[in-house]
Amino acid sequence: MKRLALFTVILAGVLFAATASEFPRLGDPDSAPSRHLSPAYIQGSLPQTHTPNFVTAVLGDYRGFDTMFETAVVFLAGMSCFFILRALRRRGLTEVYYYRHKPTGVVLAMLAPRRISPRTSCFERIDADWTPQDMVVETMCLFMVPFIQVFALYVIAHGHYSPGGGFQGGVLLAASFILVGLSRDLRTVESLLTEKTAILTAAAGVCLYAGTGLLALFFGGNFLDYGAYASFFGAAVPAARSMGILIVEIGVALTVMATLVTIYKLVSSRGTVEEGL
């Protein structure tokens, strides 16, 4: 089996290598991909969409359909993760919750229906494989979170003028939540962004994107033609397109953030969203 695989792979590699001479050389300004559409994007971006970052203009406007469906794919991936892991019942698992008495460090194990209210301040719920955490690591990680989130908002909002946009900012926002999960525990993340909120946020992001496109029809434009909002914003057509790109990027950021946090929570806790990394 391994030999057959090696043979197949080498054969495919040789076939690929045989085509290499057909590809343009590295950095060729006259290569086929750089000749036809790319100059139109580069020269049309500023006059048509008021967006100096060509990547954002192509992502949000010229290839709006593509990005919309990519966002939908991200959302669907999060939902599939949810249905694969979360919807299944846990069979024959006796649940034990562990509580640590903070002043003494004594740990209580309690069988499933019984719980200690989280409001009882001298007990804290801990994971089954809990080990004493380093205060420095935890404090520094939590200290970093607001800065990561502010930077993420900057990346989203400034995507028109500098490298950035909805996908990158959304990933940064998700990273801030995952950092909380890694330095504290999963229940802290759950209290900050519950599963329900996360999934609703993800759906809202896709709806914001598709809704922006759909609403353009009522303003007399085509689907995803943000130029139709010119009369609504009271601005010129290119400025309205720039505004539409920003709205769409916010939708993308919401979906990406919520989906990645959901996937992390489900995968790291084996679908229980109780105990995990």
d(CA 242, CA 49): 5
d(CA 206, CA 224): 13
Interface region with other proteins, contact rule CB under 8 A, candidates 179-187, 192-200, 228-236, 254-262: 254-262
Indicate the Cα dihedral angle 255, 257, 259, 264, nearest 10°: 180
Q: Does 23 bind other proteins (CB under 8 A)?
A: yes
Burial 89-109 (b: 16+ CB within 10 A, else e): eeeeeeeebbbbeeeeeeeee
Interface region with other proteins, contact rule CB under 8 A, candidates 26-34, 101-109, 124-132, 225-233: 26-34
Specify the residue for token string 């008495």: 101
Interface pick for other proteins out of 97, 271, 275, 276 (rule CB under 8 A): 271
Interface region with other proteins, contact rule CB under 8 A, candidates 6-14, 100-108, 146-154, 185-193: 6-14
d(CA 90, CA 205): 31
| Closer by beta carbon to other proteins, 29 or else 105 | 29
| Contact mark string toward other proteins, 162..191, x via CB under 8 A | xx-x-xx-xx--------------------
The nearest distance, CB 68 to other proteins, in angstroms, is 10
d(CA 256, CA 205): 8
d(CA 262, CA 239): 35
The nearest distance, CB 101 to other proteins, in angstroms, is 33
Interface region with other proteins, contact rule CB under 8 A, candidates 178-186, 209-217, 221-229, 264-272: 264-272
d(CA 272, CA 269): 6
Q: Which residues contact 204 (CB under 8 A, 6 or more apart)?
A: 251, 254
Q: Does 130 bind other proteins (CB under 8 A)?
A: no
35-40 contact pairs (CB < 8 A, 24+): none
Task: Give the footprint of other proteins on this chain (CB under 8 A).
Answer: 1-2, 5-6, 8-10, 12-13, 16-17, 20-21, 23-29, 31, 33-34, 37-39, 41-43, 45-46, 52-55, 57-59, 63, 66-67, 70, 73-74, 77-78, 80-81, 84-85, 88, 161-163, 165, 167-168, 170-171, 256, 259-260, 263-264, 266-267, 270-271
